[in-house]
Amino acid sequence: MNMVGSNLRLALTPEGIGWLLVSLVAFLLATNYNNNVVFMLACLLLGVWLLAAWLTLKNLSGLTCKQWRIEPCFAGGDSDFQLLLEAAEGREHVELGCKVVGQKDKQKTRLMQLNSGERQWLTLTLTMEKRGWFVPKAASVVSSWPFGLWCASMEAPEVPSCLVYPKPNGTQSLPDTHQLDADEQSLDDLSGVRAYQTGDNTRRMDWKSMARTDQILIKTFEGHERQKTTWLNDKNVRVSTFEEKIEQLTRWVVECDALGAHYGIRIGAETLLPGSGREHHVEGLRLLALAKQER
Amino acid sequence: MKPSLKQDYSFSGFWFSSVAAVFVLLALATLPAIVRLPVQVSLVCILPVLLHLIPRGKWRKVTTIGLLVMLVATIVISFDSWFGGDAIMAFICGLLWLKSSEMAGARDSWLLMLAVCIVTALNALFGISLWQMLHLLVVVWLLLLNVMILQSSDAKRAIGMLVRRSAFYFSISLPFAAILFFMLPRVPGPLWDVGIAMGMPVKMILEKTRTPAISGTLEVGQVSKLQKSDAPVLIAEFEGTIPSKSRLYWRGAVFWDYDGERWQLAEGWDRRRNIMHNALKGKQAFQSAITNGEDMVSYKVRVSPHDGHWLYGLDAPFKTAPETVLSKNYQLLSIRPLSREFEYEMKSYLKYQGTQPLLESQKDRALNIPDNTNPRITTLGQRIATENVSVDDRIAAATRWYYEAGLQHSLLNNIDVGPNNLDTFLFDEKFGGSEYLAGSFVMLMRAAGIPARLVTGYRGGNVIALTNFIVVKQGHAHAWLEVWTGNSGWSRIDPMDVVSTATVPAQKKPETAPQTEQQKQKNTQITKKKKDKKETSSLCEGEWFCSWLQNIEMWVVKFDAKKQLDTLDSIGLMRGTVGRMLLMTGVTIFLLMVFYMLMSELLKRRREDPLQLSYQRFATEMGKRGCEQGIGECPSVYCQRLSEQFPAHKDAIGTIICAYLDVQYGKKEENKLFTIMVKRFLAMTTGR
């Protein structure tokens, strides 16, 4: 049974149906035995059932859903979908949860309470199975408080899609840097010198200039630098399926990032030029999350 | 649609409070049964509590099975039948306690809680008392508390709040319950009465419960025996409103002859030839038999088969149907024995005069007192005859004597069958069935020189609420008498009504014996009230408490379909169909909900802080204009951002935010001023 309000819905839960059936049984017993005490019990149960409908609906009314906050996650892991809720002045909302249509067994919500005029993030944790874009269907804020006989739900704003990275998996260790010579470019001409910065390669120090100027200077070259770059190439992955290759590459990306290595990715025709750091890591994972097998 | 809210059941505190609450609920719900059942059964029922001492696993399962076997064995040994109320109750209680030992989740808790409702309802069937009502209310409140504990994600910490809220919710659910209790259309049970009213064959109901009806002979105590049966006799559907039940005399056998121990019909009365010979024939005969008929009712009757010739019509029938005849005693008879359910249409006058002349032979029979029987009644009758001249005075004197004798109608009696049993009843035992009352009155009238005869049949019936059907059962079996009053013919006297008024003070005695229907009803009501008072008086001492208990009795325990309709009538809600009553109930429930909503809104407004409301309004409006306040953003930071975005209003914004901070953390009395400032600012800057 659904009752549609403005954007509030009220539905009977299985417990509510059970409660109604018990009330009905009590009515039948009362009628059959002309027993007013049993009739009173039946009326009480039915009265509670009716009251519960209003209380459950009231628990959600006055609530405002503001915005979503979502973080990407790895396949097989949990992603927190957070919805900002705001309670109206003078209202309090108890045991609020959230759910997404079509994810019955894959979602978990942390019930929360919202006091008058308060704003809080409501977290819905979804277990992601596949890499790529996860496009959730409609989401709603739900509550079956106080008796669990009815479930009120309120439509939440459209849930943004979530990028699911491939699951880091595989047994191969990181590829050997020396194997990647074929991919290296020749050095270009010296373009000049600059002041030393923390992290610069000490082998490129310009000792002569340093002796002249008493400053630590570093030589700079035009074009790509010849440095130890790890190329993560799908051709180097020794597994049978494309998905396993992706998972192995993801593991390498995670390991490279943890080591602070300079790495590039090549998968099929797609290439991510070598780099390092947070943004490069995210770019790499994104490339792998959306990679498609060539036919 | 089930909400997929997953709760953390591993939280030990949650389970502690939830399990404890379910146990308390279960203990309280089964308490009346545990107290009532034999000790050994009660012990076995609550033994499963010990299962909690055994760790979950194989041994607990084995012990559970052992306890189940023990429960079954104890019930078999302790009760005669499995289908007795106590045996069923014991089994259910035992099962619930066993189930409680393996409770493993919210679903199990729900199952137990719903089963508790059924147990409470079954308990209430074993008797109605105020304690039971109180018990029921406490059980329902505990049920709500349990349900709320199940819904709460942190029940242990919030237990105090849950107790308070469940009590509050319980109290506000009471008006809903009261509306339903007083307004939901009631159907008098048992439910198969509804079935037979709707066309289910009466024979089907009777198959196993058939009780021999009154036939050619009426022995003392026979009517009382019939009254203990619940088997249906007939179902009548009235055209229009059903008359008051006290006016419904379903006329059956009329007895003239008494041999001192039993009443008898004439030999061969049920031969077809005799039936036809004693029947009223032709329009002329009908018109002369019943004159001055008033209060005519039309109805359709279905009679259950009984292999006899009796049919029943309301006193007095004046129409025949195919295959039926009306005897000179106004008995409706079937020409053939009823071997299957029989249906006929009938008309009756509830008020009439029978002016058929009383023949000498009939007069002799109607005055006959068997020799050497009931001498004290004979003496009393003769004394009444000596002291009173007219027939009316004699009847009045006899009735007055019945009033003062303190006679009581009872289905139980200790009177042995014998020639003086009516004397024993009237002067010694003073307890007896309607045939004792009517039979002794007949003898008294005869002794006083007034011709009298005994009439048997049924009185009243169970009205099926809000329909025109009435179900008459063996329990309505009744006997009354008719006296010959000369010009008025045969007049009905029902000593039951006389006995009913036995507790009325002497000064309120009626002057004439045959009471009007209104008087009878009034007297019955007075007696009922006095009986109610007697029942409740044993429970209480103080007058106010007695009065309160009586009100509870009257408005809860004894609030039946008739009282419901009368009450609705008295408060201006006219009687109506089931649909109309349901509609009225729905509308009242809706109005109550609207009232609750208004109250809730009113309370909400009271709870709101005007300062916060005004600031909220200011922030919302500025948010619409492109500068929303961040979550947890300090008002002073917000003020800075606003000033940057709206440089033209920099000063005004600064003043407002400063005022807000001042009022919030200091000068509370400037609350109103802040509201005015916000209103003015928003009004002035709208549309810019």
User: In terms of pLDDT, which residue wins out, B554 or A145?
Assistant: A145
Which of B149, B183, B217 is the endpoint of a domain?
B183
Residues B176 and B203 in one domain: no
In a domain, B553, yes or no: no
Locate the chain B residue with the closest alpha carbon to A14: B2
Interface mutation target, options A36, A66, A137, chain B, most CBs of B under 10 Å: A36
Q: What number of C-beta contacts closer than 8 Å exist between A and B?
A: 179
Chain A nearest CA to B497, separation (Å): 25
Calpha distance B111→B371 (Å, rounded): 72
pLDDT of residue B213: 53
Q: In this model, does residue B505 exceed pLDDT 60?
A: no
What is the band of B154 on the pLDDT scale with cuts at 50, 70, 90?
confident
Using the beta-carbon criterion (under 8 Å), do B110 and A111 form an inter-chain contact? no
Contact residues, chain B, for A141 at CB < 8 Å = none
Give the domain extent around A196.
189-224
- Whether the predicted pLDDT of B504 surpasses 70: no
pLDDT grade for A10, boundaries at 50, 70 and 90: very high
- Rounded to two decimals, what is the model's pTM? 0.67
DSSP labels for B520-544? HHHHHHHHHHHHHHHHHHTT--SHH
Q: Are residues A134 and A218 in the same domain?
A: no
Say what percent of chain A tops pLDDT 70.
88
Spatial CA neighbour of B162 closest among B286, B13, B41: B13
Q: Are residues B271 and B124 in the same domain?
A: no
Comparing CA positions, the residue from B236, B257, B265, B218 lying closest to residue B477 is B218
Is residue B545 in some structural domain?
no
Statement to judge: residues B144 and B210 lie in one domain? no
What's residue B668's pLDDT?
60
Q: Which residue has the higher pLDDT, A39 or B686?
A: A39
Q: Tell me, yes or no, whether B245 and B174 share the same domain.
A: no
pLDDT of residue B286: 73
**Of B525, B558, B578, which marks where a domain is finished?**
B525
| Structural domain total, chain B | 3
Structural tokens at position A255: 């390991």
* Whether residue A20 is found in the same domain as residue A63: yes
Q: What is the pLDDT of residues B68-89, one digit of tens each?
A: 999 999 998 888 777 778 888 8
Task: Closest CB to A41: pick one of B124, B604, B632.
Answer: B124
Q: Is residue B477 part of a domain?
A: yes
The larger pLDDT score, comparing residue A293 to residue B212, is at A293
Same-domain check for residues B201 and B295: yes
Residues B46 and B122 in one domain: yes
Same domain flag for A124 and A211? no
Higher-pLDDT residue of B580, B214: B580
Q: How far is B465 from chain A (nearest CA, A)?
A: 11
Verify that B305 and B378 share a domain, yes or no.
yes
Coil vs helix vs strand at B190: coil
Reported ipTM? 0.76
CATH of the domain at A127: 2.70.50
**Residues B151 and B103 occupy one common structural domain:** yes
| Structural domain includes residue B614 | yes
User: Do B168 and B271 reside in the same domain of the chain?
Assistant: no
**Is B390 in the same domain as B272?**
yes
What pLDDT score does B164 carry?
92
Task: State whether B135 and B207 are in the same domain.
Answer: no
Residue B514 has pLDDT above 70, yes or no: no
Whole domain around residue B633: which residue ranges? 610-685
A36 and A108 both lie in a single domain: yes
Cα A81 to Cα B409: distance, rounded to the nearest angstrom = 77
Crossing angle of helices B12-36/B39-46, nearest 10°? 170
Partners of residue B169 in chain A, C-beta under 8 Å: 48, 51, 55, 146-147
Please report residues of B whose CB lies closer than 8 A to that of A41: 117, 120-121, 124, 136, 140
**Of B305, B303, B328, nearest in space to B318 by CA:** B328
Three-state SS across A237-286? Answer: CCCCCHHHHHHHHHHHHHHHHHHCCCEEEEECCEEEEEECCHHHHHHHHH
Instruction: Tell me, yes or no, whether A155 and A170 share the same domain.
Output: no
Give the end of a domain, one of B499, B525, B551: B525
Overall domain count for chain A: 3
Residue B326 lies in a domain: yes
Judge whether B564 lies within some domain: no
Q: Are residues B176 and B210 in the same domain?
A: no
Mean pLDDT, residues B254-258 taken together: 89
Judge whether B286 lies within some domain.
yes
CB nearest B189 (choices: A11, A32, A45):
A32
Surface-to-core class of residue A247, CB atoms within 10 Å of its CB (0-12 exposed, 13-18 middle, 19+ buried): buried
Instruction: Name the residue in chain B with its Cα closest to that of A29.
Output: B121
Closest to A192 measured CA to CA, from A218, A215, A211 = A218
Determine, yes or no, domain membership for B578: no
Chain B interface test: which of A44, A92, A110 (most B C-beta within 10 Å): A44
A28 with A113, same domain? Answer: yes
Mean pLDDT over residues A80-90, rounded?
Answer: 86
